Amino acid sequence: MKIGIDCRMYSSQFTGIGRYVYELVENLKLIDNDNEYYLFFNHPEFDNFQSANKNFHKVLADSKHYSFSEQFKFLRVLNKYQLDLMHFTHFNAPILYNRPYIVTIHDLTLHFYPGKKVKSFLGRLAYHIVIRTVVKRAKQIIVVSRATGKDLQKLLKVSLNKMKVIYEGVNPSFKIITNKSRLENTKRKYNIEKPFLLYTGVWRDHKNIIGLLKAFKLIREKHDFQLIITGRKDSIYAEEIFNCAKSLGLLNQNGESLSVIFPGLVNENELIDLLNLAYIYVFPSFYEGFGLPPLEAMQSGTPVAVSNSSCIPEICGKNAVYFNPHSPKDMAKTIEALINDQELYQKLAKDGIEYTKKFSWSKMTKETLDLYKNFQS
């Protein structure tokens, strides 16, 4: 078959969808020499991508996400290749594309938390038109959790028979680091002087970073900990987050750390170091489609405290402690209980490494390839 994959978000450095696309392509290269793949990139990933596999071809799409170019220019590029099957790896596909395709729906965050990026009525209307049209016309829909599938069924009236749950995976690079000097270098770089709680990921309303800061304020009354929050400091949510940290006495008025550290975006090696060094990984999100970061923390040997909302209990199972994300008091109480219960703490740290073995990118890719094969004539 001639199979297309939307790789415009491809990147090992992105969170979420970028990682998903990267792992799908890299693992397909290992297991499929039969089908012809056409990978549609934007710059700069188009220039950077290299493959020794003769059945993998890169194509310049050059169409920005959520744009008119995506709807018309990307459509013209796709139509040139007369693909047997196209895999849109996110809902933002050209709605007039009329050849067979499947789409991966990672979440319906914009239904619940439209956030500050899509402010206009027209922007939000366009989102609803695109996602409804794309899921209606898709031959098959991949969902990354049962919870996301239920959201699709409830909000967009998609039949369960049209959906296939395929879980994401955890890259083997997330592991226990035994190189102590490497870990010490990371501690020095980010002025880590005490045991710390860690959050990693993007800054958006549904990630509940404000709630985490309020919970940490309560924890600090009993435990001399630091809090590290990675993510872009130039986020449109940054001012709100920094102002909250200042009002809680976690930053001084000059923005200098008193007990919370904002290192900005960190590279993957430093991310793995921080996951190893953290005392507890905290995931306070109101809503997720899959929730990969807690699994990355588990595989790094760090216990996790997570919210009890959306798909998170489905993904983390019994290998986490849970709190109500709408209650900073409950969040703090749950984290403090884990700090004080060394038996449970050690059990979660030990069992997490074994638990994450059920989430594999190679397994995800094999299941996706099996889905592709259903379209062979």
Q: How many whole angstroms separate alpha carbon 285 and alpha carbon 315?
A: 13
pLDDT attached to residue 93: 97
| Strand residues in the chain grouped as ranges (E) | 2-6, 36-41, 56-60, 85-88, 101-105, 140-143, 163-165, 196-199, 226-230, 260-264, 280-283, 304-307, 321-323
pLDDT attached to residue 357: 95
321 and 352 in one domain? Answer: yes
Diameter over CA atoms, the chain: 66
Name the one residue in this structure whose structure tokens are 């049962």. 146
Amino acid at 205: D
Decide if pLDDT at 242 tops 80. yes
pLDDT attached to residue 252: 87
> What is the CA angle 223-230-346, rounded to 5?
45
Q: Answer whether residue 102 is part of any domain.
A: yes
Mean pLDDT of 228-249: 93
pLDDT attached to residue 14: 57
Q: How many whole angstroms separate alpha carbon 343 and alpha carbon 320?
A: 13
By the 8 A CB rule, do 41 and 94 touch?
Answer: no
159 and 188 in one domain? Answer: no
pLDDT attached to residue 157: 96
CATH number of the domain where residue 47 is located: 3.40.50.2000
Q: Answer whether residue 174 is part of any domain.
A: no
User: With bands split at pLDDT 50, 70 and 90, how would you rate the model's confidence at 13?
Assistant: low
Mean pLDDT of 313-332: 98
Look up the pTM and report it: 0.94
186 and 135 in one domain? Answer: no
Mean pLDDT of 32-59: 96
Amino acid at 193: E
Nearest to 245 by CA among 204, 281, 209: 209
**Mean pLDDT over each residue of the chain, to the nearest integer:** 95
How would you classify the pairing of strands 2-6 and 226-230? Answer: unpaired
Nearest to 367 by CA among 168, 170, 171: 168
Q: How many whole angstroms separate alpha carbon 154 and alpha carbon 146?
A: 12
The domain total for the chain is 2
Q: How many whole angstroms separate alpha carbon 140 and alpha carbon 163?
A: 6
How many other C-beta atoms can be found within 10 angstroms of the C-beta atom of residue 146?
15
Half-sphere exposure of residue 200: CA atoms within 13 angstroms, side-chain side = 26
| pLDDT tens by residue, 97-148 | 999 999 999 999 999 998 776 667 788 889 999 999 999 999 999 999 999 9
Q: How many whole angstroms separate alpha carbon 87 and alpha carbon 65?
A: 16
234 φ, ψ (degrees, to nearest 5): -95, 15
Q: How many whole angstroms separate alpha carbon 229 and alpha carbon 202?
A: 10
| pLDDT tens by residue, 250-264 | 998 887 888 999 999
Nearest to 230 by CA among 183, 197, 182: 197
Enclosing domain of residue 91: 2-169+360-373
368 and 346 in one domain? Answer: no
| pLDDT tens by residue, 49-67 | 999 999 999 999 999 988 8
Mean pLDDT of 29-38: 97
